[in-house]
C-alpha cells in the first residue's frame, strides 16, 4: 500500500450452479487446536500459483513480501498506549480496556498462524494526555491522513512525557487506544494507518514504526476489532465492500462477497479464521501445504481444516497472472468454533482489485438457503460445499468444477478439481 493510507474497521454471490447433494454428515464437534505445530519451515510463496503483487491497493498477491508491513513471523513487539483528552476525565481504566483486547488478540493470531507468530503487546498502565480535544483532532471515518498523523504524533509525545521510560526500541507496531467516553471520539473511526517515512515514529535506535492502529471504540467494543485492524498492519486488505451494494432487503450489504469467512470481511464474523490464501501470503504455510493446478484435467486432493496444524491447506487453480480460484476446508475448531456450516470453501481471488472493491469473492454453494441467524451474513453462512456437492463455474476450457467426495473421520475432506472438462 502507498504510505499515508488509512484502513477503517470492518462493517461487514450471486447464485451459482451446484449439483444435487447427498445428505450432509453430522457437523464437526467444536474442538481445540492440536497441540503440535507443522515443523516444516515456512518460506515465501513460490511457483506458478504464487500470484505476484500488483499496483492494486493492498494487493492480494502473495509474493514478494511488501516490507511496508509488519512481517507476522516469530515474535512481533508492539506497545499499547491509552490516550485521554483535556476536556474529559476518563471513567474506564487502561487496565480494563487492555483486558477487553488482550489476550484475545494474541491468542487469535497464535492459533491462526499455528504458533508461527507470537504477538507481544505491552499495554501501558496509565493514560497519556494529548493537548487537544478529540473533536479538534477531527479523527473520523474518511478523515484526511494529516489529521490522523497529527493525532499519532501528539499521542506518542504524550506517552513519552507520561512515562519517560517508555521503550519502543524493537517495536514494529503501535496501538493507540482512545478514552472511549470522551466527547468527539467517533466510534466509527477505528483504523490502521501506514505512516509516511517523514511521519514514522522514532524508536530510539531500531527501525522506525510505520504501522499504527487507532482504536476509537466504545467501552464495549466488538471482540474482533483488533484482530481485523492487526490484519491491516500485516498487509491484509478489507474484504467488505465500500461503498456497499444494496442487499436483498434494499439495505447496504458490505459483506455480500465474502460473508463471515474471514475477519478481514467482518470483525464480528462467526468464522473469522483468515482464509488459507492469507495464511499463505503471510508465510504461515509450508510449500507442501499448497497444491497448485495450472492446466486442464482432473486432480484429487485431501484438505485438512485450515484452523488446525498439519496437512494440505489450500488448492490453487491458476487462471492468469492476476487471477485464481482457491479451495480450502473449514471446520469448527479454534477461532472458528462458532462457525455455522463446516465444509469446503471455494473463492475467487483477484490480485489487481483494490481493497474494499472485492478482491475476494466466495462462491456460495447454497444460495437459496440461509445458514444460521447468528451470522452477520446469513445468506453466506452455508456457502461451503459438503460431501456430495459439486460447484461449477465457467464453460469450455475455462470451466472449473469442485466436488467434495467425502469427509474422513479426522475431519479432512476428499476433493476433486476438474478444469476444462465436462465433469468432476
Domains in the chain, please, with CATH?
A: 9-59+237-424 (no CATH), 74-233 (3.40.390)
Residue 373 and residue 369: Cα distance in Å, rounded? Answer: 11
Summarize pLDDT for 285-297 with one digit per residue, the tens.
Answer: 999 999 999 999 9
Q: 16 vs 19, 160, 367, 395, CA distance in Å? A: 10, 56, 7, 13
Residue 275 and residue 175: Cα distance in Å, rounded? Answer: 24
Residue 209 and residue 202: Cα distance in Å, rounded? Answer: 7
Q: Report cis status (omega within 30 of 0) of the bond before 185.
A: no
pLDDT of residue 197: 96
Q: How many residues does the chain have?
A: 424
Summarize pLDDT for 54-98 with one digit per residue, the tens.
Answer: 999 999 999 999 999 999 999 999 999 999 999 999 999 999 999
pLDDT of residue 24: 32
Largest CA distance in the chain: 69
In the three-class reduction of DSSP (H, G, I as helix; E, B as strand; rest coil), residue 125 is classed as strand
pLDDT of residue 220: 85
pTM value surpassing 0.85 = yes
In the DSSP assignment, the letter for residue 375 is S
Name the stretches of the chain with pLDDT < 70.
1-42, 246-252, 422-424
In the three-class reduction of DSSP (H, G, I as helix; E, B as strand; rest coil), residue 219 is classed as coil
Which triple of cell numbers denotes residue 210?
510505520
What are residue 171's phi and psi, to 5 degrees?
-75, 145
Find, among 270, 267, 266, the residue nearest to 258 by Cα: 266
pLDDT of residue 150: 98
Amino acid at each position: 500500500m502507498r504510505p499515508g493510507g488509512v484502513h477503517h474497521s470492518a462493517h461487514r454471490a450471486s447464485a451459482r450452479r451446484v449439483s444435487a447433494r447427498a445428505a450432509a454428515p453430522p457437523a464437526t464437534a467444536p474442538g481445540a487446536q492440536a497441540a503440535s505445530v507443522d515443523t516444516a519451515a515456512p518460506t515465501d510463496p513460490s511457483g506458478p500459483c504464487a500470484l505476484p503483487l500488483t499496483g492494486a491497493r493492498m494487493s492480494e498477491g502473495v509474493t514478494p513480501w511488501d516490507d511496508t508491513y509488519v512481517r507476522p513471523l516469530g515474535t512481533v513487539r508492539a506497545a499499547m498506549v491509552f490516550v485521554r483528552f483535556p476536556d474529559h476525565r476518563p471513567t474506564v481504566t487502561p487496565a480494563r480496556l487492555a483486558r477487553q483486547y488482550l489476550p484475545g488478540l494474541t491468542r487469535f493470531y497464535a492459533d491462526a498462524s499455528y504458533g508461527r507468530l507470537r504477538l507481544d503487546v505491552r499495554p501501558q498502565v496509565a493514560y497519556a494526555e494529548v493537548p487537544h480535544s478529540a473533536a479538534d483532532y477531527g479523527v473520523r471515518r474518511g478523515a484526511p491522513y494529516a489529521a490522523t498523523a497529527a493525532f499519532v504524533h501528539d499521542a506518542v509525545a504524550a506517552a513519552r512525557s507520561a512515562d519517560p521510560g517508555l521503550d519502543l526500541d524493537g517495536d514494529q507496531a503501535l496501538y493507540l487506544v482512545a478514552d472511549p467516553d470522551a466527547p468527539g471520539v467517533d466510534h466509527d473511526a477505528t483504523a490502521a494507518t501506514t505512516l509516511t517515512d517523514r511521519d514514522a515514529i522514532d524508536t530510539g535506535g531500531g527501525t522506525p514504526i510505520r504501522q499504527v492502529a487507532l482504536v476509537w471504540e466504545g467501552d464495549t467494543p466488538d471482540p474482533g476489532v483488533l484482530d481485523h485492524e492487526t490484519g491491516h498492519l500485516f498487509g491484509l486488505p478489507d474484504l467488505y465492500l465500500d461503498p456497499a451494494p444494496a442487499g436483498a432487503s434494499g439495505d447496504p450489504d458490505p459483506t455480500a462477497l465474502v460473508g463471515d469467512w474471514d475477519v478481514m470481511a467482518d470483525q464480528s464474523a462467526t468464522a473469522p479464521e483468515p482464509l488459507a490464501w492469507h495464511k499463505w501470503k503471510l508465510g504461515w504455510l509450508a510449500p507442501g501445504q499448497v497444491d497448485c493446478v495450472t492446466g486442464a484435467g482432473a486432480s484429487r486432493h485431501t484438505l485438512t481444516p485450515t484452523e488446525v496444524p498439519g496437512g494440505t491447506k489450500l488448492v490453487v487453480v491458476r487462471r492468469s497472472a492476476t487471477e485464481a480460484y482457491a479451495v480450502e476446508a473449514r471446520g469448527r475448531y479454534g477461532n472458528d468454533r462458532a462457525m455455522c456450516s463446516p465444509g469446503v470453501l471455494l473463492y475467487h481471488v483477484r490480485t489487481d482489485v483494490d481493497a474494499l472493491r472485492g478482491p475476494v469473492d466466495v462462491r456460495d454453494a447454497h444460495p437459496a438457503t440461509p445458514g444460521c441467524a447468528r451470522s452477520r451474513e446469513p445468506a453466506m453462512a452455508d456457502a461451503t460445499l459438503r460431501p456430495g456437492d459439486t460447484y461449477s463455474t465457467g464453460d469450455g476450457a475455462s470451466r472449473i468444477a469442485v466436488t467434495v467426495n467425502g469427509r474422513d473421520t479426522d475431519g479432512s475432506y476428499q476433493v476433486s478439481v476438474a478444469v476444462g472438462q465436462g465433469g468432476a
